[in-house]
Structure 1
Amino acid sequence: MALIFDRLNDDIFLIILSYLQRRDLSALSLTCKHFHKLSSPRRWTALATHKALYVSWWHDNIGTNARYVREILVVVNERAPMLPDVLFATKNIRFEGGPSVSGDLLSLLSAIKSFPRLYVLILKHFTPTTAVDIACHPSFPSIQQLTLHDVTEPATDLFYLCPNVTSLRLGLNVFHQAHESRPRWRSSPIPRLTLTALRMEARDFMVSFLEQRPMRATHVRLSALWEFTWDGISSMQDETASQLACVLTTLTPRSLYLEIPAILCADLSDRTGTLWQEVAAAAPHLRALVLHVDSSLSDDDTRWAPPDALVAELARLTLTCVHLKADPYLCWRKGDADRPRLRALAAFPGELAAAIPTLRVVGVSDGSRKLEGPRSTQWWRVEGGDGDGAVRSLVELWREDGERALRLVQSEAFCASDLDDIYSEKCRYVRG
């Protein structure tokens, strides 16, 4: 029998193991080092504690298998046997609390202490109304990704206890906002910050909240907080541009991901059209821009295309990388009627490169191209233009290289030489 096993390669073993139940895989991992190596890492990557049976499977071989877990979904209103053993032996735990989490902030802090390797913390609809002296509690240095979704202001004090957070998603609940504590948030910038507003009232409160809690963020994503008209440079409300400017002035980002629901509006006479003028004044050091335009709210089937004025407006910014997402998630096609839109999208990269001397990378995503076969996202590097009157040209990149360039520009420690690799010929995309 041993000779037969010796003749089988690992790929065949993995196919056989895929038919085994978790308990059988746990037992098999104890037979020899080879089977332990094959079965454990691939079979025990996720664990849910809302069913006690899942944890009982683990307990048969908890000492060797728990360290391979990369995600645990913990439902806090259920009890599972041997759960502490699993938590203390596991790395990169993901804790997700929902409405079942108590509104008592002190109780939540006590629960989080039970997760010594907590990596991702997601709180949804957590609405404590009483502030606590957050500075008296020990910090949670293992937490690197923090999501506070539809929470009240006292819940945001958790951020004070997470000194190593690299990604913060914040959405505020405007009701029951009785809060007096103002802990000092860290002065160093957060690498990635996402702001959301589920209700119209939350937008004003979000701006006021950020002004009261001065913080910095290297990359900021604003998830459809305000609506803009079809030209992409005018707001539907008079105060939108000033609110956006307040957010950018407070956060001082180097990279901005701006989601814009575009509204088809025939009358633009009363619109100020100062969106990008406000952005340029509030964020003069902005070097990366992702402009995500969603026109699905339009009454007809018209889809948004970059207007002629948009290039001139974006030229106000000293951008290094721009990614235009024009309805990237919509698989839509309108035949000949869509040709002007396609021509506008095709001309946008070259026009932008000619208008912004600092631009080095540009990408365009178009959801309608998904049905036609071509790549729905294209990237180009900008070449030339070093001297007066020099012509700038575009060289198409592999999608992976364009996305990598965007990530480099979005980082806090970016310098121009970081993009030298994308000028290698191996990054050039050659159509077959």
Structure 2
Amino acid sequence: MSSLLDLNLDLLLLIISYLQGWDALNLSLCAKRAYHLAIPRAYVYLDKTCRDHADFNIWRERVFALDPILKSPRISCLRSLVIQHRGQHGLRAIVAGLVEVFAQARRLESFVARFEESLDPGVTECPRLGEALGALKFLRQLNLTGVGSATMHMLHALPNAPIIEALSLDYHPPNSWSAGENPFPALAKVLSRFARLRYLMFVFKQDLVVPELDPSIPPTNPLIYPQLPSLRTLAVAESYSCNLMDLVPLCPNLSSLSYISLRADANVYRRKIADTPWPALRAFECLPGYLQGRQHPPPSLPQSRGDVSRLTIVTPLSISAPSLSPMSSTASASTFAFVRAVQPSALVLKVLLRSPSSSSEKSQLICWADAFRVDPPLRSLELLFLSPNQHLTGLGAAMEGMSLYYLGVHVIVDRHKIFQRNVTRTEVARALDPRAFFDAIPTLRVLGIGDQMLALDHTGKEREAPREPDETSREWTRRTRWWWMEGGEMVEIWREDAERAREIIERPEFDRERGLEGFFSEKCLYSMLT
């Protein structure tokens, strides 16, 4: 009888390449041939949480030990390493031990260091860490927490900085290590050393002044700042004093930007290089931050920017003024002005409807629908309603005449119950009739309606509602239902088909006349898979 191990070596290696950890270890126990092929995969990815220095030394001795059959150290198979440590005790010794780890793991491709306290004391007392980290010729991804000024200087001097493709930095405020004695280098100058950097993420949890641009260069000459032409994705979560949006104009090929503001007070775009336009972005997410249990709005949006294909603004925009106009609120006015300026083809927006009475419901929905009528018209729109109460009825009629091809309407539960009462799933289903949306929007091809709420059991307690139906429970309803319209016939489809259609609709080269022809044909399905 033939077995898995009778396959050709190239097929076996391909199958085993998908195994990690215990799966690879279990396969290695089947036969001697399986051991030779699978045991290296058991040590490809290691995740170690160190309680103290002694715990780290025990782990290091185990991975340094020779494999009894391969006759080589287990750490020689390592490709990805995650080290976690809580507290300051033993941090310096762990940092010194990492130097020996890097010397043995010569083919390391990804390194993640998660420390609660600042990494700077260990970097300062062990300068060999930068040398050992810089000697890794295959390193492509680097993730560091507890970053301070000493760590930034180490990154600026890394010999292998030009080959790193993904960099994530979580900054830590200085305590006993004064930033004045070892000030932060200019961030743009440090990043210019990473010639192949495609993904960059910053996290600033507390107030920390980091110079992102060289202060010696006057703001009137933005083009002489170091450029980051290889960067494609930028994610920033910052407090009000950092303003890392200044880096965006320095990335001419940036395609995706995600920005989270941890505070809104005094978070004003400083416009150092406001005259320099932003690159044309494929996706821009502007998200609110959370601080002490309160949700804050996003920062002031810049005046100088380029076009954005897909714009996501996930912050509740409320209509509570007597005029019921979305432009009556300063935050709403600036948000919709930003939407009109960047001319997105796809928009994702969280909406908070809480007018005082239901008599103004129709006017309220019409005001919001008119705000979505931009030029050029939107092709894709997704609305996230937070605590809408009775204001969902008539939404389809209010959007009459729009040129949408994709529309998603979702109701989000207000878990803190600080606004109005939550609607039930039955009320959502009654208010959002799919046929009303298709009748009001002639161009609409894909429609999704659902909620992210919890169902109630017979005792009135909240329980998790089923996400998708299965073969044994046909009576369960899906959390979100999707419909496809073609030739005047409305057909319910699966989520995967709806997401595939949405991806086509949101492409910049989408053809409004023939973009979805033969969508369910075998040729179209094959082209999407390849």
TM (normalized to structure 2)? 0.60
Per-residue deviation at 1:277? 0.8
Contact 1:93 1:117 in 2 (8 A): no
Q: Does 1:309 align with 2:394?
A: yes
| Structure 1 unaligned spans of 5+ | 296-302, 386-390, 428-432
Please tell me the root mean square deviation across aligned C-alpha atoms, in Å. 4.8
The correspondence for 2:169, drawn from 77, 90, 95, is 95
Contact 2:312 2:347 in 1 (8 A): yes
- 173-182 or 29-38, which moves further after superposition? 29-38
Q: Which structure would you say has the larger RCO, counting Cα contacts within 8 Å and 6 or more residues apart?
A: 1
Contact 2:317 2:352 in 1 (8 A): yes
Seen in structure 2, the aligned counterparts of structure 1 residues 97 and 204 have a Cα distance that, compared at 3 Å, is: closer
Q: Does 1:392 align with 2:466?
A: no
- Between the two proteins, the alignment pairs up a number of residues equal to 400
CA distance in 2, matches of 1:29, 1:294: 57
Structure 2 counterpart of 1:423? 520
Structure 1 counterpart of 2:482? 380
Per-residue deviation at 1:181? 3.2
| Structure 2 unaligned spans of 5+ | 1-27, 49-58, 86-90, 110-137, 418-422, 456-463, 469-477, 526-530
Seen in structure 2, the aligned counterparts of structure 1 residues 271 and 402 have a Cα distance that, compared at 3 Å, is: closer
Question: SS in structure 1 opposite 2:254?
Answer: coil
Structure 1, residues 163-210: CA drift from partner, whole Å, max 9, x if none?
Answer: 22222133565538694633544465211112245699x97972xx53
CA distance in 1, matches of 2:78, 2:265: 46
Q: Does 1:121 align with 2:164?
A: no
CA distance in 2, matches of 1:415, 1:181: 39
CA distance in 1, matches of 2:102, 2:173: 29
- 262-271 or 284-293, which moves further after superposition? 262-271
CA distance in 1, matches of 2:446, 2:299: 36
Contact 1:277 1:316 in 2 (8 A): no
Per-residue deviation at 1:227? 1.4
Seen in structure 2, the aligned counterparts of structure 1 residues 186 and 293 have a Cα distance that, compared at 3 Å, is: same
Listed as ranges, the matches of 1:34-53 within 5 Å are: 39-41=77-79, 44=80, 46=82, 52=95
Question: SS in structure 1 opposite 2:186?
Answer: helix
CA distance in 2, matches of 1:272, 1:54: 66
CA distance in 1, matches of 2:170, 2:68: 32
- 10-19 or 132-141, which moves further after superposition? 10-19
CA distance in 2, matches of 1:97, 1:393: 51
AA of the residue aligned to 1:92? A
Looking at secondary structure, tell me which structure has more helix per residue: 1
Q: Does 1:166 align with 2:255?
A: yes
Structure 2 counterpart of 1:142? 230
Identity %: 17
Contact 1:329 1:367 in 2 (8 A): no
The correspondence for 1:59, drawn from 102, 113, 116, is 102
CA distance in 1, matches of 2:283, 2:190: 26
Q: Does 1:75 align with 2:75?
A: no
- 108-117 or 138-147, which moves further after superposition? 108-117
Contact 2:400 2:441 in 1 (8 A): yes
Contact 1:163 1:186 in 2 (8 A): no
Per-residue deviation at 1:112? 2.6
Contact 1:58 1:65 in 2 (8 A): no
Structure 1, residues 134-189: CA drift from partner, whole Å, max 9, x if none?
Answer: 42222122322223434458642211211222221335655386946335444652
CA distance in 2, matches of 1:406, 1:30: 53
Structure 2 counterpart of 1:5? 32
Seen in structure 2, the aligned counterparts of structure 1 residues 283 and 393 have a Cα distance that, compared at 3 Å, is: same
Give 1 or 2 for the bigger CA radius of gyration: 2
Structure 1, residues 277-317: CA drift from partner, whole Å, max 9, x if none?
Answer: 1221x34421111111122xxxxxxx746622211122342
Contact 1:382 1:393 in 2 (8 A): yes
Contact 2:232 2:255 in 1 (8 A): yes
Contact 2:401 2:440 in 1 (8 A): no
Per-residue deviation at 1:6? 1.2
